Structure 1
């Protein structure tokens, strides 16, 4: 009987810990605020500082790993998506500092292995890799193309990592801000009015199915770049993709 009571208490305690997860993600915001240097259209991460001060990140990652599938299923859609975006970004930071110094996330792993296929963390009761979060959960379960400007692959070509976390309450406004900031960055996306020409990130090529056909993509660009182009102008516009910069988004300033 004592054994059963003890087992019950342990299960209750485990359930309580995971259900008590802080959905304001305040600890992750604290981490980001300390190491992300916001440069307007882009941001850099002070990985040296993060590597030498991992305590808060480790605590946050442990909290993420403590959330069970059952707990996740009880969340609202906005809570789920905010949770997954933050998890992707936080575990990406962990992957980088575990291998730092490194010039690119693509340098992590072997010749035949991908950093995004590396199973190095637990989430929702499973040993996972980053591609599972992005492709098998987020893209599968959420019809939200703006997530491509929120999940950050630690590279110069990626959208910027913000210095605060996503939450259910700020999700829509933060996704919209991330999208507009990325599309207005002329180093990664641009429109030439005299030539009626779009030159955009390879992200739109890699994940074209999330943006619809070519005209739908141009409409998306027109809206979020706030260009005010007519449908006829969009139909005639040319579209090409810029080279992607996989260099690490590392802050090289004063440490």
Structure 2
């Protein structure tokens, strides 16, 4: 009988957790559709009424996801990162750049997923260290114009792989993000800062880029890095 009650308890807890996560994804989607347009965020409007964002931040505090469900795990932490970037900038708004907020990425602690983490912790410990997938750099949005643009949709487990590929392809085929100048390629400093993620085995940064470019460049093309634009990605 005790085993039966224990099993029923686990089923109830599991169903509740799944419902909680599903609600988080739905609410995040509605929030982004309201405040995100053309890859930018309406921070001023959120500042006037932060209730929907506050609800999402509270939801994200209590959600627990397991690496045994990789897509759910990754989707949650990607959404959590992007929402906490927005929340941090809304709290500081008006502000010209996330770098104007002391310790924005590496020192400010945030309650999320049952843990106390910085934004760098989410990016590096929850995502980069757990999954060998450089596409994550094209869906984590740091609140600056130099980032790949934020989309007005949530990342969901059942669509995550397609979304990762789509956002990587969009960024790499954007002439403002990957700049071709004759036999030279100027690319975001993202490729410099996270070189180890793009240089895997015999593959190089250029190999990664060519895998998504509609018109791949010659393998001998010289790659350089242009200066990252840290200006806030506000509407």
Partner of 1:240 in structure 2? 224
SS at match of 2:228: coil
Partner of 1:79 in structure 2? 72
SS at match of 1:147: helix
Match for residue 102 of structure 1 among 90, 95, 105: 95
Partner of 2:3 in structure 1? none
Partner of 2:212 in structure 1? 224
- For residue 19 of structure 1, report the CA deviation from its aligned partner: 4.9
Where does the alignment leave 5 or more consecutive residues of structure 1 unmatched? 1-11
Partner of 1:65 in structure 2? 61
The root-mean-square deviation of aligned C-alpha atoms, in Å, is: 2.1
What is the rounded CA distance, in whole Å, between the counterparts of 1:141 and 1:105 in structure 2?
26
Would the aligned equivalents of 1:19 and 1:67 in 2 still touch at CA under 8 Å? no
* Alignment deviations for residues 182-229 of structure 1 (CA, whole Å, 9 cap, x no partner): 11222221223xx32111000000000001168521111112112244
Match for residue 193 of structure 2 among 202, 206, 224: 206
- For residue 125 of structure 1, report the CA deviation from its aligned partner: 2.4
- For residue 82 of structure 1, report the CA deviation from its aligned partner: 0.4
Would the aligned equivalents of 1:18 and 1:66 in 2 still touch at CA under 8 Å? no
What is the rounded CA distance, in whole Å, between the counterparts of 1:83 and 1:215 in structure 2?
29
What is the TM-score with the length of structure 2 in the denominator? 0.88
Would the aligned equivalents of 2:67 and 2:73 in 1 still touch at CA under 8 Å? no
Match for residue 177 of structure 2 among 169, 188, 193: 188
Would the aligned equivalents of 2:173 and 2:214 in 1 still touch at CA under 8 Å? no
- For residue 18 of structure 1, report the CA deviation from its aligned partner: 4.4
Would you say how many aligned residue pairs link Structure 1 and Structure 2? 223
Would the aligned equivalents of 2:42 and 2:234 in 1 still touch at CA under 8 Å? yes
Match for residue 151 of structure 1 among 136, 140, 152: 140
- For residue 15 of structure 1, report the CA deviation from its aligned partner: 8.0
Partner of 1:21 in structure 2? 20
Partner of 1:121 in structure 2? 110
* Alignment deviations for residues 104-145 of structure 1 (CA, whole Å, 9 cap, x no partner): 000001xxxx21123342123221110000011100001110
- For residue 17 of structure 1, report the CA deviation from its aligned partner: 5.5
Which has the greater radius of gyration?
Answer: 1
What is the TM-score with the length of structure 1 in the denominator? 0.81
Partner of 2:82 in structure 1? 89
